[in-house]
Amino acid sequence: MKDELKISYSVCSEAGRIAGENEDNFYVNGRILRPGVPCCRLTENTESGDALFAVFDGLGGEEHGELASAMAAENLGRYHGTFGSFYDQYLTETNKMIAEKLQKGKANTGTTVAAVAIRGREAVIVNLGDSRVYLIENSTIKQLSTDHSEFATMLRYGVVQKEEYYTSPLRSHLTRYLGMHSGELLEPGVVRTIFRPGSMFLLCSDGVCGSLTDEEMLASIREERTAEHLVQKALTAGSRDNVTAILVWTD
């Protein structure tokens, strides 16, 4: 198809400076982070304009969060090529799968999801939780995803200021995620946009965007177009959380 773009991508996921396993995971065109693997660094490209990327941040601590994010990443592979049209089905199915298999009386077990599906020049961005998707274009960075947290709710009502995000404990109190109990609101943030030559998507867990400002992330990407460089910047800035980033671009 003449409308398809050559897509390049870079991914990095590390356990960070906290004790325990890496509870983050990712999906990059069929690849995921296997449980027990502490980190991954990869830069590749694809000739196809049909691509799917996602970041997952597991909740619940230790094994539960790691398994939840891995389950969500693995199940996403079943929707490669169709996610842009059937994301609701994926979210409902994965939410039920995680809740039934991992909850068993343990509260707040689950995972965030922030995904970008690209077909031709159209991109569909879908998210639950506080993992983010940004669009970098014309030397600007813009958040496309919607944070689902108590902090975000209070920000919308003007109770807190945007600058308080980096220190507020409310940012980790999520209001939507995969693995929620039956009957709770699962409505995702959804954005459709055009993926233009020269544009870039950044997908990241809050270990990255909670440690670096938007301007600092943009500066890091300008220095070096790799997810590993951005992750190391977040760790240097003091992130103690798991850190995962995916960069997706077309020239």
The model's pLDDT over 94-132, given as tens digits with 9 standing for 90+, comes to: 999 998 887 665 556 899 999 999 998 999 999 999 999
Between the CA of residue 55 and those of 1, 23, 115, 127, what are the distances in Å? 28, 11, 7, 9
Q: Please list, in sequence order, all residues whose beta carbon lies within 8 angstroms of the beta carbon of residue 224, skipping any fewer than 6 positions away.
A: none
pLDDT confidence of residue 240: 77
pLDDT tens, position by position, 20-79: 678 999 999 999 987 666 567 777 777 666 899 999 999 876 568 889 999 999 999 999
Q: What is the rounded CA–CA span in Å between residue 45 and residue 164?
A: 37
Ordered structural domains, the chain, with CATH: 7-249 (3.60.40.10)
* Residue 29: count of CB within 10 angstroms of its CB: 18
- Where in the chain does DSSP place strands (E)? 7-14, 24-28, 31-32, 40-46, 50-59, 110-111, 113-119, 122-128, 132-137, 140-143, 189-194, 200-204, 243-249
pLDDT tens track for 155-209: 787 788 777 777 767 677 899 999 987 666 689 999 999 999 999 999 999 999 9
Q: Exposed, middle or buried, 120 (CB in 10 Å: 0-12/13-18/19+)?
A: middle
Kindly report, residue by residue over 71-99, the tens digit of the pLDDT: 999 999 999 999 999 999 999 999 999 98
pTM here? 0.91
Q: For residue 147, give Cα distances in angstroms to 27, 86, 184, 206, 225.
A: 20, 21, 17, 10, 25
Sign of CA dihedral 128, 129, 130, 131: negative
Residue 151: which pLDDT band, with cuts at 50, 70 and 90? Answer: confident
